[in-house]
Structure 1
Amino acid sequence: MNRNILILSVLMCLAIVSSSCGGDDSSSANNESTARVKLEEYSLSFLDRGSSNSPAKAGTIAFQVENKGLLNHDFIVVKTNLTADSLEVNSFEAKVNEQTVGEILGRIPQENLGPSSTYSLSLNMSPGKYVIFCNVAAHYQSGMYGQFYVE
């Protein structure tokens, strides 16, 4: 019987220690911030952070991209010193020339961003200026781009 009490006491202590050591979700959230982005025909909007007024913090940024439009879109993140409206466009394809824009950090292909879909993309981002755009034919030229800031 004493052995059962001892085992029960040890299990209770372990439960208390594990619950107090678990921490809260905010510690892991501090290591990764979320940037919500809305895509529509033909616009790209930052819903919470990333604009010049509210830059994101350097580190892992999870983009939660929601396609509120009726068409498929893609989502490309580029680190560059170019402004969002000055990317080189291949006029034959009606798309941004991805070879000249800078360092492409990540993308969500249009197969994953159909109408009414949401997709997440996590990237490790250092301080700087980024351009985010849709490179489906003619979408960039129609205004589907934005400047994203990380400090």
Structure 2
Amino acid sequence: MLTRNVFQTLLTVCLFAASAGALAAEPAAVKVRLSDGASAGMSLTLVPSTVPAGPVEFTILNESRTMKHEFMILPWSEAGAALPYDQKTQQVNEARLRALQGVEDLNPRETVTARLMLKPGRYIAFCNEPGHFRDAMHATFIVSPTK
């Protein structure tokens, strides 16, 4: 009888630990809105704008009815203006960036989900369609150390 109670207790502890580990592995959820609203101008918003390190699931909505947009993200501790910007193409020069991730060419009204593994640090998220970065389609994103 005692052996059975010990076994049940151990089984309960193991199941609890396994479920706690599964919860820890769940990605942080971030909603991304890409907009070119006529009155408000272009924008890229992330909610929340701070998450713990590890897997992050971005649900990205291109709210535009007419334009393609992109969601690009990379670790970046400097000001956004310091990105290598090519005036001729009116785009950030992606070939000069390391650790760039994201989703290119989202069609108008398209929603996609991207799961990325992010380390602690300060990031910049931006749209790299011609002229969009210059028109304020960028935002800072913080990834904090895990507990």
Spell out the pairing of 1:94-113 with structure 2 (5 A cutoff): 94-104=90-100, 106-110=101-105, 113=106
Unaligned runs of 5+ in 1: 1-16
* Distance verdict in 2 for CA 1:85–1:35, change over 3 Å: farther
Aligned CA RMSD, in angstroms, stands at: 2.3
- CA offset at residue 144 of structure 1? 0.5
| Rg larger for | 1
Q: Which residue is 2:124 aligned to?
A: 131
- CA offset at residue 80 of structure 1? 1.9
Q: Bigger CA drift: 95-104 or 70-79?
A: 95-104
- CA offset at residue 136 of structure 1? 0.4
Aligned residue pairs total 124
1:143 equivalent to 2:136? Answer yes
| Offset from partner CA, 1:22-71 (integer Å, 9 cap, x none) | 99x98645421111110001100112x12xxxx20000001111111121
Q: TM-score, normalised by structure 1?
A: 0.73
Percentage of pairs with the same residue: 23
Amino acid at match of 1:43: S
Please say if residues 43 and 145 of structure 1, whose CA atoms lie closer than 8 Å, have aligned partners that are also in contact: yes
CA distance in 2, matches of 1:30, 1:138: 39
